[in-house]
Structure 1
């Protein structure tokens, strides 16, 4: 059995030593560096010479860098890949426990350990939200009420900071969709896993640290470049969801509504709002073609995004 741990790095020296040290030597280590400008590459070359290191000349983004690492792992005969964030740290038996659960529940396409904060004093905040009552009504109840703990809890989504993906999932679903650069690609992948009749699960006996508790969420000014980038990502997550059969109707309706708002503001001489709606309309036109193509490809599945 071959297991490849794939880590995408980008200026990650504050986490990298602990991250790489947490990967058991029995696993193949594949690192794709997205053109770091700190000492990341030098540190890897000096301390992990046996790792397969791809030194990119540009930032490929999270999804495409992972696709490159997965493609390499598959060529080496990997049975499983484990995607690990550079700011995350494994326990010694994390992957072993996930594989054991998968052997009992092969209908799962993605398995994740529990994500804790840096000091292991509580759950990672965002991770805990993925296990709320709506996502899985049993998880917290089983723990609080002292009931029997299940081997795996099904959820609609868990972030890709620590994913065990069996080869069967990869050859059915494919890689990450290139319409996402950073953030949103894991939402999209979970949607596709579900579409192809596989489940997403959290294994309560396996643990991993996600060291991000002290980060401040950015706030963007309405109409700014960053604002539209965030809006575009959210729209793509919703509209590229191949489980959403009404997505293209929703997009066409949004385009029509934005056109009307643009004309209304123009006729009212509210030029600040005119500029906002114009930018939004251009963005919607731009993603329209992308989303249509994405939906067709992702329904087909297979080795998409690895070899084309």
Structure 2
């Protein structure tokens, strides 16, 4: 029986994390041994005490619960790495990264595991992800009956010419247009199942990124090491978009998206794309604001978390 460990990272998101845990408790554990690790990233929201109470409730459930407390906010990458290392030490065959601002359908893990066990060459897999109702980018655009069926992720696409990573199907109402299991450029770190062998061969999430693009980087390293990455539409979750970090367009998002896109692009893109990034880099240096700060930090090799942006 395969051991699957779910890792949920919390940073001052107590209510979302507790709601996520309640949905995880309902997961089907057929043909696998499920456990959950909540990694608290130096929060001040009282989550740990709340989870200890939740742990008592889960005592007789089929999902075991472990709490790890980090003394400070290590970011998405290193915060998850703490949980991953513990899971591997405890013998996990699969590790599932799961955002704390998500709700899972009962068969999510079962569907991912079935695909990955059926084809041993698939080493990373991710579910179809809908916006949680009311958390859509353009909430007023949709009819009431369409809420809960608006796609957030149905596969990952990397535009290497411009070095942009995007979610296939985002903002579309699901009419079955992305119901095919298939290989994809990347699986979002919001919900990513990874075989043990991947970590053993390529290592962990790169803490240089701190937040954003670490999932793209991890998937690129996995692909270049010969692993397959798959989108599995029968596995389904719901995402309260940006509840776990910051709203789209926030200072934190602008800073890390700008700096880390340069880091990712200069690491993996073609020479032509790198030259285009260099021109963009120079353009940002001539402007004021967050993107200029992010560009300067990239040029000076200042990575990881930054004061004021963590």
TM-score (norm 2): 0.72
Q: 1:142 to 1:177 in 2, by over 3 A?
A: same
Which residue matches 1:100? 114
1:15-30 map, 5 Å: 15-23=16-24, 24=27, 26-30=33-37
Secondary structure at 2:116's aligned position in 1?
A: helix
* Distance change >3 Å, CA 277–CA 188, structure 1 → 2: closer
Q: Does 1:218 align with 2:249?
A: yes
Provide the C-alpha distance between the structure 1 equivalents of 2:73 and 2:216, rounded to a whole number of angstroms: 21
Unaligned runs of 5+ in 1: 266-272, 291-308
Mapped to 2, the partners of 1:276 and 1:80 lie a distance apart of 38
C-alpha displacement at 1:253, in angstroms? 8.6
Any idea what SS the aligned residue of 1:163 has? strand
Q: TM-score scaled by structure 1?
A: 0.72
Structure 2 distance, partners of 1:281, 1:131, is 24
What's the counterpart of residue 31 of structure 1? 38
Higher strand share: 2
Alignment map for 1:172-211 (pairs within 5 Å):
172-211=201-240
Residue 140 of structure 2 is matched in structure 1 by none
The whole-number CA distance in structure 2 between the counterparts of 1:91 and 1:276 is 38
| Matched-pair contact (CA < 8 Å) for 1:136–1:155 | no
Q: Which runs of 5+ in 2 are unaligned?
A: 57-63, 134-146, 159-165, 304-310
- Pick from 283, 287, 292 the counterpart of residue 301 of structure 2: 287
1:72 is aligned to 86
State the SS of the aligned residue for 1:175.
Answer: coil
CA contact under 8 A between 1:239 and 1:251: conserved in structure 2?
Answer: no
Change (3 A) 1:193 1:116: same
Tell me, in whole angstroms, the C-alpha distance in 2 between the residues paired with 1:12 and 1:179.
23
Superposed, 1:1-308 pairs within 5 Å as 1-23=2-24, 24=27, 26-49=33-56, 51-119=65-133, 121-125=148-152, 127-128=153-154, 130=156, 143-144=176-177, 150=180, 152-212=181-241, 216-218=247-249, 228-241=255-268, 244=269, 246=271, 250=274, 254=278, 258=282, 282-287=296-301
SS of equivalent residue, structure 1 residue 206:
strand
Taking the aligned partners of 1:72 and 1:15, their CA distance within structure 2 comes to 23
C-alpha deviation, 1:283, in angstroms: 2.8
Deviation at 1:129, TM superposition (A): 7.2
State how far apart, in whole Å, the 2-side matches of 1:276 and 1:210 are. Answer: 27
RMSD: 3.9
Indicate the structure (1 or 2) with the bigger Cα radius of gyration.
1
1:143 offset after TM fit, Å? 3.6
Q: CA deviation at 1:162?
A: 0.9
| Aligned positions, number | 265
Distance (Å, rounded) in 2 between the aligned partners of 1:171 and 1:103: 18
Deviations 1:110-166 (A, max 9, x none): 1111112224621333x147379x9889xx999459xxx54x211102311111111
Cα distance, 1:236 vs structure 2: 1.1
Residues 123 and 237 (structure 1 numbering): CA distance in 2 closer, same or farther, change over 3 Å? farther
SS of equivalent residue, structure 1 residue 51:
strand
Q: Is the 8 A contact 1:10 1:40 kept in 2?
A: no
Asked if 1 retains the 8 angstrom alpha-carbon contact of 2:212 and 2:256, the reply is no
